[in-house]
Amino acid sequence: MQSKELVEKMGFEVIYGDTDSIMINTNSRDLKEVTKLGNKIKAEINRFYKQLEIDIDGIFKSMLLLKKKKYAAVCITFGPNNEPIETQQLKGLDVVRRDWSEVARKTGVFVINQILSNSLREEIVDKINTHLMHLATKIQENSLPLSDYCITRQLTKNPEDYPDKKNLCHVQVALRLNSKGGKKLRHGDTVTYIICNDGSQLPASQRAYHPEELKTNENLSIDKHYYLSQQIHPVVARICAPIEGTDAAMIAEVLGLDPHQYRNYSYNRDDDPGAKLSMAKTLNLNDYKDCQRISFCCPVDNCSSTITVEHIFEGTGKNLTFTLASCPGCKTDLSSYLNALCNQMTLLIRSFIQKFYLGWLVCEDSGCGHRTRQVPQIFAKSGPVCVACQRSVMLPEYKVSDLYRQLTYFSKLFDFSRAQATLSEIEKRLPCVTCPETERTCRHLQQVAKRYLSRSAFSVVSMRDCFRDTFRPFDLRASRAASEGALLD
């Protein structure tokens, strides 16, 4: 932290920091100047340390920094004649791990090469989309070699010693091969397998077969959807997450997958200032972009219309209207059905609470997709380890913060005073705003959300609980007795 503050005081930006290293943006493309700045920063930091010294580990021409200890970069080194040599450096990315299929690894390397090239962003995105489109066509046409689909995992124990054999592909394959007598796979061996369609409805983890089994069994075929959705898509989506102009949903669409299933994984941006302004009309929805919007069903029996509330006021100027004034289908005045609207909102909030208490856990790695309500017995520093992939941690599918944010969104959505304050003077005098029923409807719906928010302890920090074991109640009589005993001694 001290090194970071020192570098920032020198006028440079620290883009990444770890326990023993920092990465600095020099804002310069001159290699000699960059080297000079690096030596200057090194000398300045080393003045404060006696036992340890910092040194220049590398100079990066370009970098894709995804998260802690996960990056791709073009590193510049110097040759025998002091000429600059460019090499690619990959740290912690999926493409350097062997437990991904070869087709996923090759695709990831291609995407990284495009991002680290000197091309314009639009050209990079276009090349990636074109490559993915051609790749999806090759997969559908069975044009790729069988080796591209192979996944390799190492046995960390004997196959029969795994507690959860059913959900581990390499263990399933090892047990089946061992039972046939041809091989005897043990601890430390690597197992190669391919996910196949075998005519069953079993999950992918139970449809893994050795390449030789695929060649000799006519009833087996490569699960093309699995490789597109669970191998190629997660690798590419994670690499492209910081890149403007593409997201997980777009990548899915290019691969021929359903983009709607990947919208939650999209890297959300708000590039259009006009869009920001319109969203901020009544509520900064950018803070609640992941929250579910509320839709009311028309309370009239013979009407099946729904009213989705994005803002309590729609339109601008004289065209401003109250969203819940009437049903868009049967034109019924909804103010007389206020209790029905409150009941619908109550049921929706209860469904979110129930979703939280179900306690589903999902693997952090979207490529694994393991989902369970049972807490694994093996823990890492960041949480329980997934029993399926054994490399990522399990995270709550619906966190307590998600529930609290959803309730807060509903409370702010129907805040009439907040919405009214954003209107122009002309809009404030319109009948849809001054009508008492408008404020009454908003107030009742907001009270529903506030009632459940008041029961949540998520935003409350109890100082008594925090320091219960640190500061114990002071006992005056015990203190006085101890003092008297000390005087007698």
pLDDT band at 180 (very low <50, low <70, confident <90, very high): confident
On the question of pLDDT at 173 being above 50, the answer is yes
Q: With pLDDT > 70 as the criterion, what percentage of the chain qualifies? A: 90
Instruction: Verify that 205 and 256 share a domain, yes or no.
Output: yes
pLDDT at residue 300, rounded to an integer: 92
CATH of residue 57 = 3.90.1600.10
pLDDT score at 450: 94
| Reported pTM | 0.58
Residues in the chain: 489
pLDDT score for 281: 36
**pLDDT interval class at 275 (50, 70, 90):** very low
Q: Which residue has the higher pLDDT, 17 or 40?
A: 40
283 pLDDT higher than 80? no
Tens-place pLDDT, residues 260-274: 777 655 433 333 333
The predicted pLDDT at position 129 comes to 94
* 486 is a domain residue: no
Distances (CA, A) of 235 to 90, 251, 273, 297, 365: 14, 11, 31, 40, 10
Residue 482 lies in a domain: no
Segment 194-205 shows an average pLDDT of 89
Residue whose entry in the numeric block shows the structure tokens 């890492």:
380
**Which helix (H) or strand (E) covers residue 197, if one does?**
strand 190-197
Question: Are residue 123 and residue 218 in the same domain, yes or no?
Answer: yes
From CA 237, how far away is CA 228, in angstroms rounded?
Answer: 12
Asked if 22 and 164 sit in the same domain, the reply is no
Residue 383's pLDDT band, with cuts at 50, 70 and 90, is confident
The tens digit of pLDDT for each residue in 457-467 reads 888 877 777 77
109 and 222: one domain?
yes
Sign for the pseudo-dihedral over CA of 154, 194, 246, 113: positive
Q: How far is CA 6 from the centre of its chain?
A: 32
341 and 406 belong to one structural domain: yes
Range name among 51-65, 224-238, 337-351 with the lowest pLDDT average? 51-65
For residue 278, is pLDDT > 60? no
Give the chain's domain count. 3
pLDDT tens-digit readout, 342-363:
999 999 999 999 999 999 999 8
172 within domain boundaries: yes
Q: Which of 225, 247, 266 is the last residue of a domain?
A: 266
What is the mean pLDDT of the segment spanning 51-57?
A: 80
**Do 3 and 22 belong together in one domain?**
yes
Which band of pLDDT confidence, cut at 50, 70 and 90, is reported for residue 474?
Answer: low
pLDDT of residue 286: 57
266, 297, 326 - which closes a domain: 266
Q: Give dist(CA 195, CA 148) in Å, integer.
A: 12
pLDDT of 1 reads 57
Asked whether residue 417 falls in the same domain as residue 435, the answer is yes
Please state, rounded to an integer, the average pLDDT across all residues of the chain.
Answer: 84
Asked whether the predicted pLDDT for residue 325 surpasses 50, the reply is yes
In a domain, 124, yes or no: yes
Q: Pairing mode, if any, of strands 383-384 and 221-222?
A: unpaired
What pLDDT was estimated at residue 416?
Answer: 92
Q: Is the pLDDT of residue 487 over 50?
A: no
What is 343-381 written as a DSSP string? HHHHHHHHHHHHHHHH--EEES-TTT--EESSPPS-EET
Does some domain include residue 73? yes
71-75, 129-133, 180-184: which has the minimum mean pLDDT? 180-184
What is the pLDDT, as a whole number, of residue 269? 36
Does 297 lie in the same domain as 151? no
Question: pLDDT: is 290 or 229 the higher one?
Answer: 229
Residues 139-159 have a mean pLDDT of 92
What is the model's pLDDT at position 258? Answer: 84
For residues 39-65, give the mean pLDDT: 84
Same domain, 303 and 427: yes
Same-domain status, 18 and 159: no
Statement: residue 282 has pLDDT above 60: no
What would the DSSP string read from start to end of 431-450? Answer: HHHH-HHHHHHHHHHHHHHH
What integer pLDDT is reported at residue 197 of this predicted model? 93
- Fill in the amino acid letter for 415: D
Same domain membership, residue 198 and residue 150: yes
In a domain, 385, yes or no: yes
**When comparing pLDDT for 473 and 260, which is higher?**
260
* Least confident residue range of 86-100, 145-159, 237-251: 86-100
Residue 139: pLDDT over 70: yes
Task: List Cβ neighbours of 447 (8 Å cut-off, separation of 6 or more).
Answer: none
Distance of CA 87 to the CA centre of its chain: 30
Contact 327, 309 (CB under 8 A): no
Please identify which residue in the block is written with the tokens 């990831």: 108
Expressed as residue numbers, the domain containing 138 is: 95-266
Distance CA 246, CA 268 (A): 10
Look at residue 42 and tell me whether its pLDDT is greater than 90: no
3-state secondary structure of 154: strand
Alpha carbon distance 106, 128 (integer Å)? 13
* Average confidence (pLDDT) over 145-152: 93
pLDDT score at 404 = 93
Q: What are the pLDDT digits (tens) for 208-228?
A: 999 999 999 999 999 999 999
Kindly report the CATH number assigned to the domain that includes residue 159: 1.10.132.60
Q: Does residue 467 belong to any structural domain of this protein?
A: no
Instruction: Please write the tens of the pLDDT for every residue from 103-115.
Output: 999 999 999 999 9
The pLDDT of residue 322 is: 93
Angle between helical axes of 233-240 and 121-140 (0-180°, round to 10): 180
- Tokens standing for 184? 């005897």
DSSP H or E stretch at residue 404: helix 400-413
- CATH number, domain of 393, equals 1.10.3200.20
Q: Is residue 474 part of a domain?
A: no
Looking at the fold, whether 135 and 181 belong to one and the same domain comes out as: yes
